Amino acid sequence: MPPADPPDLHLTRAARRAFPGPAALLGDPAHRERSRRYLADLARQAGQELPAGLFDPASGSPGQSYAEMAETLVRELVPPDEPVDLLVLAFSGHDMLPGRATATYLSHVCPGNPLSFAICDQGSAAPFSGLRIAHAYAASGDCRRAVLIAVEQAVLPYRTPTPGPARHQGVAMLYATTTVRPAAPDGNARMTVLRQHPDVAAGDVAALAAAELATLSAGCPDARVVLGAALAAAWPAHPTGRVTVTPPGQPVTGLWWTLLDRTAVGAPRTGPVLAADYDPELRYLCLVGWDDAGTPDDGRPDPGR
């Protein structure tokens, strides 16, 4: 018998939230001082010093914790009766509470106590890599549900060549395989394609992105496209018809935040959705697509809007 096709991943529910305040644990003087010392030691090894007043609570911006942000999203997203088998946390910049094993902690608070791990050092490609891993686990037959969480926080303890995120925010997506009955026939979107191109020079981005999007949307004139802000900047002559460009300021989560606007329940069902982004520092070009514009929403209010 020929091997069975790997199960599809269906996006069945999503949550997103902005976190305007600092991490709760940073309100504790002992936690705050430990984090300050740890990050100061790391900064000195790179010949840098922590920005003045970084951990001063009076500044109102001592930073956020990915564990706290992601825990809030998990509790909003995953009902207790829908145990998860895999949880992937994707981020780029440092957490301001680096002493916690964040992925392990999230496994503890997520229904199902899933296998969990984090992806970092991939810039804006990290959530795409998380989706690739989720699909691979689904193909093994041992993963019925997977949660992908992308987070970024705006207070960085070091200088960077490009501006950091504009605000603390996170996006979480619950995926189910074809072995799980979808919550509703019109409440999920099937992931149809995922492509990642490493080491793409800035001068080659426009041609490759144009060729890929043309191939992926062939035969689908009603396809909608969401472009990350960095990709749009590297591709000034990108098409504009049925194209949404992510606002700048959120290099890791911005694309996924905007994507949920384009795939909300109640939106007209006008065809597939494609999303693409480029990391100009690490030179990754990534693309993903879904076959239905009617994505996941559980009807709960969106506190991030």
Give the C-alpha distances (Å, rounded to integers) separating 123 from 32, 90, 236, 250, 253. Answer: 26, 9, 21, 11, 10
In a domain, 295, yes or no: no
In a domain, 251, yes or no: yes
In a domain, 52, yes or no: no
Per residue, the 3-state secondary structure of the chain, as one string, reads CCCCCCCCEEEEEEEEEECCCCCHHHHCHHHHHHHHHHHHHHHHHCCCCCCCCCCCHHHCCCCCCHHHHHHHHHHHHCCCCCCCCEEEEECCCCCCCCCCCHHHHHHHHCCCCCEEEEECCCHHHHHHHHHHHHHHHHHCCCCCEEEEEEEECCCCCCCCCCCCCCCCEEEEEEEEECCCCCCCCCCCEEEEEEEEECCCCHHHHHHHHHHHHHHHCCCCCCCEEEECHHHHHHCCCCCCCCEEECCCCCCCCHHHHHHHHHCCCCCCCCCCEEEEEEECCCCEEEEEEECCCCCCCCCCCCCCC
In a domain, 298, yes or no: no
* Interatomic CA distance for residues 247 and 245, integer angstroms: 6
Residues 6+ apart with CB under 8 A from 118: 88, 89, 90, 91, 102, 103
In a domain, 237, yes or no: yes
Looking at 143, 177, 211, the residue that finishes a domain is: 177
Looking at 156, 177, 198, the residue that finishes a domain is: 177
Reported pTM: 0.89
Residues 113 and 251 in one domain: no
Looking at 145, 177, 209, the residue that finishes a domain is: 177
Residues 162 and 199 in one domain: no
Tokens found for residue 93: 């910049």
Number of domains in the chain: 2
Tokens found for residue 178: 């074809």
In a domain, 54, yes or no: no
Residues 15 and 149 in one domain: yes
Residues 171 and 202 in one domain: no
Residues 137 and 241 in one domain: no
In a domain, 304, yes or no: no
Give the C-alpha distances (Å, rounded to integers) separating 4 from 1, 7, 140, 261. Answer: 9, 9, 11, 34
Residues 121 and 141 in one domain: yes
Q: Which domain covers residue 239, as residue numbers? A: 189-290
Largest CA distance in the chain: 67
pLDDT in tens, the chain (305 residues): 344 566 789 999 999 999 998 888 888 888 888 888 888 888 888 888 887 777 777 766 678 999 999 999 999 999 999 999 999 999 998 888 877 789 999 999 999 999 999 999 999 999 999 999 999 999 888 899 999 999 999 988 777 777 789 999 999 999 998 766 544 444 578 899 999 999 999 999 999 999 999 999 988 888 999 999 999 999 999 999 999 999 999 999 999 999 988 765 435 556 789 999 999 999 999 999 998 644 344 333 344 43
pLDDT value at position 303?
40
* Interatomic CA distance for residues 190 and 175, integer angstroms: 9
Residues 6+ apart with CB under 8 A from 80: 111
Instruction: Read off the CATH number of the domain in which 224 is found.
Output: 3.40.47.10
Residues 82 and 136 in one domain: yes
> How do strand 86-90 and strand 9-18 relate by DSSP bridges?
unpaired
